[in-house]
Amino acid sequence: MRPFQERWRVSARRRALLWGAAGLALGLVFVLGRAAARMKQTEELARARFENESVEARVLAAREQELHQELAALGDSRGLEEALRRKFRVAKEDEQLVVILDGEPKTPLEPQQSERPSLFGWVRNLLRGVTSETYTRP
């Protein structure tokens, strides 16, 4: 062999060590990449939950303000009377109560018949067709 080739010749032991180190480095890159992807996914989930909670907090704050206004209105006799009239649909003796319904009038609900036939319904239907009038013996 030439001196140049001998200098770059790697023994089998060193070659195995180099391949092991390369495999370990690739494994480490894979594990770290997977951990980073999971951290990003967790961060996005936390951000979405935070946004949902902040929207819910704003809605609750607006509802709290409405309730405080209703409570202040119930403090005087006029507001209390208005709340009672609205909730229980009551009127004074000389007043009439008019209820306006939106949309088409609804028909009273009728009990619905089962679409599924009863267990022996087919037998009854069979026997209805075979009566003494229609069945004659030869």
- In this structure, the dihedral spanned by the alpha carbons of residues 40, 41, 44 and 45, taken in order and rounded to 10 degrees, is -150
Q: What is the pLDDT of residue 93?
A: 80
Would residue 39 count as lying in a domain? yes
User: Is it the case that residue 9 has pLDDT exceeding 80?
Assistant: no
Give the number of domains in the chain: 1
**Triad 60, 63, 67: Cα angle to 5°:** 135
How many Cα atoms sit within 13 Å of 103 on the Cβ side?
Answer: 3
Q: Find which of 7-11, 61-65, 71-75, 117-121 is predicted with most confidence, using mean pLDDT.
A: 61-65
Q: What is the pLDDT of residue 26?
A: 97
Would residue 112 count as lying in a domain? no
Q: Which amino acid appears at position 85 of this protein? A: R
Rg (CA), the chain: 42
Higher pLDDT, 115 or 73: 73
Would residue 77 count as lying in a domain? yes
User: Is it the case that residue 136 has pLDDT exceeding 60?
Assistant: no
Would residue 95 count as lying in a domain? yes
pLDDT for 42-69, tens place per residue? 999 999 999 999 999 999 999 999 999 8
Would residue 127 count as lying in a domain? no
Would residue 68 count as lying in a domain? yes
pLDDT for 85-114, tens place per residue? 888 877 778 887 777 777 776 666 555 555
User: Is it the case that residue 13 has pLDDT exceeding 90?
Assistant: no
Q: What is the pLDDT of residue 137?
A: 53
Domain of 58? 9-101
